[in-house]
Amino acid sequence: MKSPTRSHFAASLVGGAVVAGTLLVLGVAGHGTTETIIEGSPFAAQPAATGSTRLTAHSIYERDAPGVVFVRAQIIQQVQDPFDLFPSQERSISTGSGFLIDGTGDVLTNYHVIEGANRTNGVSVQFEDNVTRTAVVVDQDANNDLALLKVNLAGVPEVHPLALGDSTTVQVGDPTLAIGNPFGLDRTLTSGIVSALQRQIQGPSGFSIDNVIQTDAPINPGNSGGPLLDAAGRVIGINSQIATGEGGQGAVGIGFAIPVNTAREFIPRLKHDGKVEIADLGATGVAATGSRHGAVIRSAPDGSPAAEAGLGAGDVIVSVAGIKVSSMGDVLQIVEAHLPGQTVSIRARQQGHVHTFGVKLGSRTVSAPQ
């Protein structure tokens, strides 16, 4: 069972003290350029002997790199202006990596890469040749820093899912490869070894993630969600955090990957029927006009989450989860960044007075990209 932890390897996602410095998640803002970088490798320079599963770093890169994607998420953040009564809304871009786990468009990445994004249209993935697809966030697990995306593979030049290995067989000293997008540099390969096992780090939810793999393969911001591979090119972990020197943000030879066996337990939750459950308010509306600011509710049918919380037609929503809104589109984007069943705070103007409503979100079914 997982529990909140304060061990020296389990710092908060915004940085906490560890032996080597600071643990940082690996997401990075900005836009990537198409560039291939292959750093030095402990792998054999020539193909291994007949019958061996060990390959060269280059052959693994050629085979697996097409299955690694560049993930971009539009994030809505709450920003408090000291001169404003309510927090305002700020949009930013989070970038990271991910990889195909099958041939139907299922992509595994880190939760912290897509945290705060609209689950239906706030995330995109880029394949080689700059082919980009909108992704639906099918499932997410903040405790283990994992997320599953679904994309339409039509027109993707090469569909190559990565093979999943067994992280229980990994040993200290085993060669490792990491493929990802550090600092936005697309399709980068780095190499190293497994430098320790059974480490413990802290997930985005504040709970500990156990049995984490430590590697000295250079991984940096932007590698988040990318695969850590073994000598046969199989995924043994999902790159998630790094330790840096005090005050720095680059790799110092200590990286941490979520064990692939943890992801194996998460993956079966994926809904393979192409349907995704999205958080729903159960109300429609339009942007307020004139001197009013917010979103005017047009309808909130009886039994809907909005109506159950006391909201109705004519009420003007001014903020959701502490974020100011100016249209119903803003409302839906914030709502859909949550999970069905979660309760969000909505402030709304009702009969000339502003009230706070706790709304337990319902769900609606949408089709994943086809």
Per-10-residue mean pLDDT of the chain, 370 residues long, equals: 38 31 52 39 45 71 89 74 59 85 90 86 85 87 88 83 89 90 74 87 78 84 87 90 65 81 76 65 86 86 94 93 85 82 93 93 71
Question: Per residue, what are the HEC states of 76-95?
Answer: EEEECCCCCCCCEEEEEEEE
What pTM was computed for the model? 0.69
Structure tokens at 81: 């202006």
Sign of the torsion formed by the C-alpha atoms of 222, 224, 229 and 233: negative
Q: What CATH architecture applies to the domain 276-367?
A: Roll (2.30)
Question: What is d(CA 198, CA 200) in angstroms, rounded to the nearest whole number?
Answer: 7
Concerning whether 293 is annotated as a catalytic residue, the answer is: no
DSSP string, 184-240: GEEEEEEEEEEEEEEEEEE-TTSBEEEEEEEE-S---TT-TTPEEE-TTS-EEEEEE
Concerning whether 353 is annotated as a catalytic residue, the answer is: no
Task: Indicate the domain borders of the chain.
Answer: 1-41+55-272, 276-367
Catalytic residue of the set 139, 145, 230, 315: 145
Catalytic residue of the set 124, 208, 224, 319: 224
Q: What CATH architecture applies to the domain 1-41+55-272?
A: Beta Barrel (2.40)
The whole-number pLDDT of residue 78 equals: 59
The whole-number pLDDT of residue 30 equals: 44
The whole-number pLDDT of residue 198 equals: 87
Catalytic residue of the set 41, 94, 106, 112: 112
The whole-number pLDDT of residue 184 equals: 63
Q: How many CB atoms lie within 10 A of CB 199?
A: 20
Concerning whether 355 is annotated as a catalytic residue, the answer is: no
Structure tokens at 26: 């690996």
Instruction: Decide if 1-41+55-272 and 276-367 have a common fold.
Output: no
Q: What are the phi and psi torsion angles at 305 (to 5°)?
A: -55, -40
Element (H, E) at 330: helix 328-335
The whole-number pLDDT of residue 46 equals: 40
